[in-house]
Amino acid sequence: MRVMILVPALPLNTDDIRGGVHSAVANLLRGFVQLPVTVRVVSFNKEVSSEQRSRFSDNIEIVYCPEGRFPLHSLNYLLKCAPQVRKHIGEFRPDLIHYEASDAFLFTKLFGLRGVKHLLTIHGIAMAEGKVNKNFRYKMSSYFNGLVEKIMFPKNIIHLSSYSVRMYGRLKINKYSIIPNAVMEGYFALPVKEATENKLLYIGGIDRNKNILFLLKGLKEMRDRQKTFTIDILGGFKDQEFEKEINEYIRLHALAPYLNFHGWVPQSAVMNIVAGADILVVSSLQESLPMVIAECMSAGKTVIGSTVGGIPEMISNDVNGYLTDNTDVGTLVAALDKLHNNTEKVKALSLQAKTDATNRYHCRSVAEKTLSFYKELI
């Protein structure tokens, strides 16, 4: 079987991947390495001026194509990238085309896929993100992307969660499968810690949707109760105004001694920081099925997550982690209170998280499920 995977802006150096869709693609490719499938990944990047090719494995090639010079991605996808998709279809002759991004990226379909069947993995839900985003520019961008997605929605879909199925239930779909994102093997190799050090972890872009202020308020409440935690924060701010707001909160409440801002960390270093953590906190206002939760569960970490999107499908409350109401800091404080200096509880939750993740997220099993769905489609 020959499959062409389309994805925007995949970094030339895979160590520069910052999670999300790009991590999902890279991990799926790792699962495909020993399976009977030939894959060409076509990525459109602003950082290349001419086509570049690299070999991921004997059966997987990555082609980096110039996105184009228009300031708007949508114009580049329509006028510059669509003809290149057609060219690669003619050259590679795939049995199937797999879109790993929707929104305006679907403009690359408009000049024709030559009758080749195609499918889409839904990683984010643009309309839902628009509803929770307070920044006008990002809100309008999300709504525009959601409208494009609705108009050009493919008929074959991979959903990450049942939540995604419900969100798109009104659209006509021929076939779909629920397959979560894959996690690389290295996370599964990390041992569960023998003793808790009250070390929390935050991973991802720092914006209003990720709701880091909720986490900081919980940290303050626990500090005031004389039950201190520290937080390793991996990721960067996307909005200067929001950065000022967060820094002012940290200053007013003297939280700096408990925080370690790492910025964006190369993939090769992320795993070491994850290994030293005890508890991941994801307090987002909107999520589909967060890659970071799957990764940390695979590493044997307790996860505290908000009850939004597909997160409740990942976390069983008081079994492999805790669910919280992201509008009520008291629910976060209650979970942290149970876990502070409680090695027995943290270890039990972490062991169960690792077991659950092994059954759901290992890159080999995810790749096998994906390949099985490919075969069903063709």
Cα end-to-end distance, the chain, whole Å: 10
Owner of token pair 């099925």: 289
- Structure confidence at residue 129 (pLDDT): 56
Mean pLDDT score of the chain: 92
Quick check: 60 pLDDT over 80?
Answer: yes
Q: What is the pTM of this model?
A: 0.89
- Structure confidence at residue 170 (pLDDT): 77
Quick check: 229 pLDDT over 70?
Answer: yes
Q: What is the pLDDT of residues 125-182, one digit of tens each?
A: 654 554 555 565 655 566 666 666 666 788 999 999 999 999 888 788 899 999 999 9
Mean pLDDT of 13-36: 90
- Structure confidence at residue 104 (pLDDT): 85
- Structure confidence at residue 322 (pLDDT): 98
Domains 2-182+362-377 and 185-360 alike in fold:
yes
Domain ranges of the chain: 2-182+362-377, 185-360
Q: What is the pLDDT of residues 313-362, one digit of tens each?
A: 999 999 999 999 999 999 999 999 999 999 999 999 999 999 999 989 99
Residue 177 pairs with which residues in a beta bridge?
Answer: 158
Q: What is the pLDDT of residues 12-24, one digit of tens each?
A: 987 778 778 999 9
Q: What are phi and psi of 16, to 5 degrees?
A: -90, 0
Is CATH 3.40.50.2000 correct for 2-182+362-377?
yes
Q: What counts of helices (H) and strands (E) characterise the chain?
A: 15, 14
CATH number, domain 185-360, options 3.40.50.2000, 3.40.718.10, 2.40.40.20, 3.30.70.100? 3.40.50.2000
> Is-contact 206 246, C-beta < 8 A?
yes
> Is-contact 314 205, C-beta < 8 A?
no
Please give the C-alpha separations between residue 341 and each of 90, 260, 346, in angstroms, as whole numbers: 60, 20, 9
Owner of token pair 């370690």: 260
Range list of H helices, the chain: 20-32, 73-76, 82-92, 126-132, 136-151, 162-167, 185-189, 212-224, 240-252, 267-276, 291-298, 311-314, 329-339, 343-361, 363-377
